[in-house]
């Protein structure tokens, strides 16, 4: 199914299902410097009442995988994750969660229909405060457009888990089960402090005419918060080396590569607004009444286990806490493929049992 938008910028277009629609690109207009529109994608124009910015005209870009008449599962990742969750028939390029989404995977596209979207703000054109509630409302509108009254599950990780909690609180009658991985009802103050420094890097880069450098530094700070000292100790246990008379530690090349790759794809407006959105996030756990599986990573420094224990204890519906150990910390949902697959398989089986 495709949804089309009357051109907002008549000079720049892409084709979606044979219909001309605007394709936003470039610094200041597109958060991702390239927003390819694959044959399996859709574009949906919306008028949304944003929590902090009031009524706004927005565009939601999404992708569907799997059978059209199968139970639908919403999949959502971190602020860098987009609509292309996995390789599919229409777009064979790797997605951000190929390990879990696809034929024979835990989220099996042979028997499930998978929906993923680009976050509001990822197109960089929405330069206003964006709340996780706004993302949840956008997803509810997509379900309306698809004619889906109730999804089998919402599976969210990191920022996606925050949006999942908002969705369950605001539209709980529209999902059978929530799986929240490494995302809580609020941002932890320590994590907010990390992100505040990252945003200052980007702001400084903007003021000095070095936007890409600022984005790259922000991403490098982010990588340190996503991973753990244990992993860095194993991977980069070598003494600093002198280069042109300056000491350089073993992890710097890795961090520089991560930063440069990120800065090549993202623009400053998208990063700033989505980073900010994490810190604006607040949900009353008592308002979440759908059955929920909460996955906590004990080594996660951004979303501490204690916060997720508190979340499970105060949720308004049945809840299960599933702790994992991982040297990858917050990024475990992208790295611990087998352990995450087992938990997803278990949660989806429970959702299907509840839907019968």
Q: Among the options 84, 185, 281, 330, which is catalytic?
A: 330
Residues paired with 16 in a beta bridge: 19
Phi and psi for 222 in degrees, rounded to 5? -60, -40
Q: Look up residue 100 and give its two tokens.
A: 């879990």
Q: Could you confirm whether 173 is annotated as catalytic?
A: no
Alpha-carbon distances, residue 309 vs 166, 252, 276, 281, 315 (angstroms): 18, 35, 24, 18, 10
Q: Which helix (H) or strand (E) holds 239?
A: none
Q: Which helix (H) or strand (E) holds 261?
A: helix 252-265
Using alpha carbons only, give the angle 106, 345, 274 rounded to the nearest 5 degrees: 70
Q: Could you confirm whether 330 is annotated as catalytic?
A: yes
What CA–CA distance (Å, rounded) separates 179 from 292?
Answer: 6
Whose tokens are 């859709």? That residue is 42
Count of C-beta atoms within a 10 Å radius of residue 146: 19
Q: Among the options 158, 182, 225, 275, which is catalytic?
A: 158
What CA–CA distance (Å, rounded) separates 348 from 285?
Answer: 22
3-class DSSP state of 30: coil
Q: Among the options 91, 300, 307, 331, which is catalytic?
A: 300
Question: Hey, which residues are catalytic here?
Answer: 158, 300, 330
């Amino acid at each position: 199914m495709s949804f089309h938008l009357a051109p907002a910028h008549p000079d720049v277009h892409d084709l979606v299902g044979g219909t001309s629609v605007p394709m936003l690109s470039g610094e200041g207009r597109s958060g991702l410097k390239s927003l390819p529109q694959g044959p399996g994608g859709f574009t949906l124009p919306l008028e949304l009442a944003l929590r902090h910015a009031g009524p706004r005209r927005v565009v939601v870009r999404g992708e569907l995988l799997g059978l059209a008449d199968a139970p639908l599962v919403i999949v959502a990742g971190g602020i860098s994750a987009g609509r292309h969750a996995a390789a599919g028939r229409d777009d064979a390029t790797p997605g951000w969660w190929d390990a879990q989404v696809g034929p024979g995977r835990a989220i099996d596209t042979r028997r499930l229909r998978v929906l993923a979207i680009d976050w509001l703000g990822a197109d960089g054109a929405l330069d206003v405060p964006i709340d996780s509630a706004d993302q949840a409302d956008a997803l509810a509108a997509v379900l309306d457009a698809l004619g889906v009254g109730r999804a089998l599950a919402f599976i969210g990780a990191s920022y996606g888990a925050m949006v999942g909690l908002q969705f369950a609180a605001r539209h709980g009658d529209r999902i059978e089960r929530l799986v929240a991985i490494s995302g809580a009802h609020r941002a932890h103050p320590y994590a907010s402090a990390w992100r505040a420094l990252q945003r200052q890097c980007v702001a400084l880069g903007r003021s000095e005419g070095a936007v890409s450098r600022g984005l790259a530094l922000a991403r490098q700070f982010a990588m340190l918060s996503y991973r753990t000292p244990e992993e860095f100790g194993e991977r980069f246990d070598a003494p600093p080396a002198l280069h042109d008379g300056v000491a350089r530690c073993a992890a710097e090349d890795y961090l520089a590569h991560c930063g440069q790759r990120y800065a090549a794809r993202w623009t400053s407006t998208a990063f700033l607004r989505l980073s900010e959105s994490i810190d604006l996030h607040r949900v009353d756990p008592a308002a979440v009444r759908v059955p929920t599986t909460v996955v906590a990573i004990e080594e996660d420094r951004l979303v501490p286990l204690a916060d997720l224990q508190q979340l499970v204890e105060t949720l308004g519906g049945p809840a299960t806490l599933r702790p994992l150990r991982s040297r990858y910390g917050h990024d475990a949902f992208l790295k611990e493929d087998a352990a995450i697959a087992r938990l997803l398989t278990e949660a989806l089986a429970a959702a299907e049992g509840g839907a019968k």
